[in-house]
Structure 1
Amino acid sequence: MFNFASIALLASFFVSQAAAHGGVISYVIGGTTYQGWQPYNSPNGQSSIERPYSSFDPILSATASTISCNNNGQAGPSQLSATVAAGSKVTAKWSQWTHAEGPVMVYMAKCPGSCTSANSASLQWFKIDEAGLLSGTLAKGQWGNGIIMQKLEWTSTIPASLAPGEYLIRHELLALHQANTPQFYPECAQLIVTGSGNKTPSGSYLASFPGAYKQSDPGVNVNIYTQEAQTITTYKVPGPPVWTGA
């Protein structure tokens, strides 16, 4: 039988586990702050531009069915969308993040009509921003995730030439602090893009989730603690190349 000390110890364990990870909790778009999904609160009454997700815990498989938006692919019960002009900036914010090693990746996907009725696992995604190993070596370098750790935010620009329409934006942190055990942290939000752009990416710029990565990809299956990692100064960010709209 549990006593109070055991219950307190168990509770502190789960708190420490949540504190070790993180997720996007708000967005700043055009000077307006949009409340993100609150994963540890009841979904009842939550209304957000962010797709619902359940916890700050990582996804451990590159081919998990939940890897598109850290959920079953569906919109929330009271889903909102934020309007953003092509060429403007979107800032995602985290409340906590403690893993310095690994890349930051930002994707978008055009919805075939209303995003609220679109399953994120059925969409074609294109990458608009990334930051992998910025300097130094795999073992002792400055990574995109290190910037998140310091600032708890990431700002990306919507390509100015992107055609108007409804899109999902997907922020993903890939934590590499455990040898050959990648941890994926994706969250998504709904956008309505405006402007006079007329371009959308195609071909090798597009990818599916799941499907964009394999567990064996060199940018996914990484051991930063080997002797070799002490001297390696290059890293290939997983997924397709960044589409700038050019």
Structure 2
Amino acid sequence: MKTLTTLLALVSAVQAHYTFPAFVADGAATGKWQYVRKTTNFQSNGPVTDVSSSQIRCYQLAAGSEGAQTMSVAAGSTVGFTADASVSHPGTLQFYMAKVPAGQTAADWDGDGAVWFKIFSQGPNIAAGGLTWPSQGAKQVTAKIPQCLAPGDYLLRVEHIALHSASAPGGAQFYISCAQLTVTGSGTKTFSGVSFPGAYSATDPGIMLNIYYPVPTSYTAPGPAVVTC
């Protein structure tokens, strides 16, 4: 009976977690891991909890792109990821991009350095009765590529920070994937960025907090501000 109880608990834990396995462009999902680098949690669904780990960047199963292809998308288009099975925890949804350096491609670059800029950030709706999170329960999460972005190869990073157990350092759960893109268009703008790891501290106020009691009256997402054109 104890073994069965333990097994059921493990199954429940896995079901409560999630991955972002498929790229979404113009509302249509591609195949799983077709344009998204396969993540370490592709079977376990478990999160990253150490913000100082290299896994906080793209949560990759192995070095390299794991055979992922590169999708061509236009600047200004809406892109995203499927959530498998859904975003089951409350928390912050953010998207980052990083421009691939000259001489490299989205398929072979590791995303190292202060290169990641934020294109989307979604926190909670705050009320006296508690916080509600627009991304919770979502089957897909999306963001818009800046219209002014210069053409080239990029990595697109989705990050959902689950905050249901975040009242102590290491309690926040990060669910992450990176897709490989070639951005087209007539944009001319490039952006400076932050590095992963390096951008976050375990005690950042948007990472370590009790979201239930006392009910927060404000929320500041970790990382830089969203870039603007």
Q: How does 1:87-102 map to 2 (within 5 A)?
A: 87-94=76-83, 95-100=85-90, 102=91
Q: How does 1:123-202 map to 2 (within 5 A)?
A: 124-136=115-127, 140-143=130-133, 147-178=134-165, 179-180=167-168, 181-202=171-192
Using the size of structure 1 for normalisation, the TM-score is 0.82
In terms of Rg, which structure is larger? 1
Correspondent of 1:54 among 40, 54, 63: 40
Using the size of structure 2 for normalisation, the TM-score is 0.88
Q: How does 1:61-76 map to 2 (within 5 A)?
A: 61-71=50-60, 74-76=63-65
Uncovered stretches (5+) of structure 2, i.e. residues with no partner: none
Distance 2:50 2:137 in 1: 27
Contact 1:50/1:187 (<8 A) preserved: yes
The structure with the greater share of residues assigned to helix is 1
* Cα deviation digits, residues 123-157 of structure 1 (max 9, x gap): 610000011122325x71122xxx33233222211
- The ranges of structure 1 where at least 4 consecutive aligned residues each deviate by more than 6 angstroms after the TM superposition are none
Distance 2:140 2:110 in 1: 26
| Identity over aligned pairs, percent | 36
Q: 1:210 maps to which residue?
A: 197
Contact 2:21/2:177 (<8 A) preserved: no
The answer as to 2:90 corresponding to 1:104 is: no
Q: 1:27 maps to which residue?
A: 23
Contact 1:74/1:118 (<8 A) preserved: no
Q: Quote how far apart the aligned CAs of 1:184 are.
A: 1.1
* Cα deviation digits, residues 8-53 of structure 1 (max 9, x gap): 555433322211111112222135421233xxxxxxxxxx110111
- What's the C-alpha RMSD, in Å, of the aligned pairs? 2.0
Equivalent residue pairs, number: 220
Contact 2:40/2:61 (<8 A) preserved: no
Higher mean displacement: 103-112 or 177-186: 177-186
